[in-house]
Amino acid sequence: MPPAGPNSSSPGRIGPSGTGPCLPRARGELSGAVVEALRAARPPAYRAASVPAADPWGEDLQLALYLLYELHYRGFAGVADDREWDPDLLRLRRAVEAEVLSALRAELADAPRTVEDAFAPLLVEPVDLTGSLSHRLETGGALWQLREYAALRSLYHLKEADPHAWVLPRLYGRAKAGMVAVEYDEFGAGRAEDIHARLFADLMTDLGLDPAYGRYLDQAPAALLATVNLMSLFGLHRALRGALVGHFACVEVTSSPGSRRLAAAMRRCGAGPAAEHFYAEHVEADAVHEQVVRREVVGGLLEDEPDLEPDVAFGCAATVLLEERLAAHIGAAWDQDRSALRTPLPSTRTAQALSGT
């Protein structure tokens, strides 16, 4: 792959709430309206017709939705915390969410509607791993591809477990107890140094990446933003609690085999001990989590609210759909020996020179 120029994105900041990343560059009318509204502390200015006219999976709409959701997490540097509940921003968010949900339901009209049918294909390791990014990275991935993969996934892993925590007040009994047990592990089991988001930041450091929260937002394509937005969409709506449980279960069911392959990829490329440890940690932990999620979280939820089964199946199917779309985007770029990011990462040597290390 040809050498890349330096990264021009504004770095985020590591720190407590109120010290979030800088606002990114806009990618169109909707994201531009949100960026300017947050920057200038005013309502978003956009044409109402531009929301239904936008591609629901396009760069502009997905970035706009990501920015609106991020107000419920760490926010952005220089943006007041109370914009989280700004009625004009919420009105835009509702309109954008409606387009995304409509597109999802249309694409998944023929998807399974039972938990058994939705999860059965995920419980068996496929013989043909064509299209699997973890298999590709394990068997022949280059270090620059591992770095790109980590930069992309950082938008989720640096907030790992946070989107799923929204469902806790909406669960009861077995489902709540099982969900809390798994989330407790994700949040380090009482040890700050073992919080999975912290472990991923250490992985990024091993790979010569900037571990600041939100650092690679400008470079993340719509296909990646959609996977992160899906969790927030499900998590922030009580009506979609079943879909969030389906998403969570899908992640846990599929995590262990993929993590095993990614740990091997990190080891083969000499990425570093923290890089390998992040995925090695997930191999055993997520194998245990899978059983808890399937039996206690999903089983407990459907025991309490059996009418939510189609929603759980929908959450699983939506997760598979968007993950496959992301894998296709990355795979197509790498097949052409080009970056899957909107702008390539600097080389490890350039990154170290820029950071003074």
Provide the pLDDT for residue 130.
76
| Nearest partner of 290 among 251, 238, 332, 233, judged by Cα | 251
Residue 284, domain CATH: 1.20.910.10
Judge contact between 205 and 213, C-beta under 8 A. no
Q: For residues 25 and 32, what is the distance between their CA atoms, to the nearest angstrom?
A: 8
328 with 183, same domain: the answer is yes
Provide the pLDDT for residue 330.
97
Q: Where are the alpha helices (DSSP H) in the chain?
A: 29-40, 50-53, 59-70, 87-107, 115-119, 133-140, 143-157, 162-165, 173-186, 196-206, 222-235, 241-268, 273-292, 299-304, 309-335, 348-355
93 with 167, same domain: the answer is no
Instruction: Please check whether residue 155 lies inside any domain of the structure.
Output: yes
Provide the pLDDT for residue 348.
57
133 with 202, same domain: the answer is yes
Domain assignment of residue 278, given as a range: 115-355
99 with 248, same domain: the answer is no
Provide the pLDDT for residue 6.
34
**Domain endpoint, select from 54, 87, 107:** 107
127 with 102, same domain: the answer is no
Q: For residues 305 and 112, what is the distance between their CA atoms, to the nearest angstrom?
A: 18
pTM of the shown model: 0.91
Judge contact between 256 and 185, C-beta under 8 A. no
Domains identified in the chain, total number = 2
For the stretch 297-309, pLDDT in tens is 999 999 999 999 9
Provide the pLDDT for residue 349.
52
299 with 318, same domain: the answer is yes
Instruction: Please check whether residue 174 lies inside any domain of the structure.
Output: yes
100 with 135, same domain: the answer is no
Instruction: Please check whether residue 83 lies inside any domain of the structure.
Output: yes
Judge contact between 97 and 69, C-beta under 8 A. no
- The number of residues in the chain equals 357
199 with 63, same domain: the answer is no
238 with 122, same domain: the answer is yes
**Domain endpoint, select from 83, 107, 131:** 107
Provide the pLDDT for residue 12.
36
pLDDT tens-digit profile, the chain (357 residues): 433 433 333 333 334 444 689 999 999 999 999 999 999 999 999 999 999 999 999 999 999 999 999 999 999 999 999 999 999 999 999 999 999 999 999 999 999 999 999 999 998 876 567 778 999 999 999 999 999 999 999 999 999 999 999 999 999 999 999 999 999 999 999 999 999 999 999 999 999 999 999 999 999 999 999 999 999 999 999 999 999 999 999 999 988 889 999 999 999 999 999 999 999 988 877 678 888 999 999 999 999 999 999 999 999 999 999 999 999 999 999 999 999 999 999 975 544 444 444
Provide the pLDDT for residue 256.
87
